[in-house]
Structure 1
Amino acid sequence: MIPARVNRRHPAPRDRVKYRWRNRIEHFFNKLRNWRRVATRYDKTANSYIGFISLASALLWLPLVHVT
């Protein structure tokens, strides 16, 4: 949900935590779609497609988890 404008009389309630997590998940899927193989679905079987999505996801999350 997009936050309401400041000058609105009765702003719709929103949950900041849910909004933050939703935004992070959307950004993650956008980064995942930068992989050409995922965006164009080159794989013929569902198992190989899910396998590559898992691999790409791990490679995207690895820099976030690995802290030196």
Structure 2
Amino acid sequence: RSVDHQIYRQRNLVERFFNRLKHFRAIATRYHKLARNFLAAIALASARLWIRQYEPTT
């Protein structure tokens, strides 16, 4: 198979992000039924994941 490695790498990043996002229980179970509340929960969880990635490990 010929695979474009750049596209595969980007797809892998997106899939891993969604996997990490599903670790938040409210998002995995769709606890918030209104779309605006659900999107706000996704934004908060995404910000938390982003901050955790860039915080120092010491």
TM-score by length of 2: 0.85
- Aligned: 1:26 with 2:15: yes
1:43 pairs, out of 29, 32, 38, with: 32
What is the CA-CA distance between 1:66 and the residue it aligns to? 4.2
4+ runs deviating over 4 angstroms? none
Quick one: percent identity of the two aligned structures? 44
Aligned twin of 2:41:
52
Aligned-residue offset at 1:67: 5.4
TM-score between the two structures when normalised by the length of structure 1: 0.74
2:3 to 11, 14, 36: 14
What RMSD in Å do the two structures reach over aligned CA positions?
1.5
The unaligned stretches of length 5 or more in structure 2 are none
**How many residue pairs get matched?**
57
Indicate the structure (1 or 2) with the bigger Cα radius of gyration.
1
Alpha-carbon distance, 1:61 to partner:
1.0
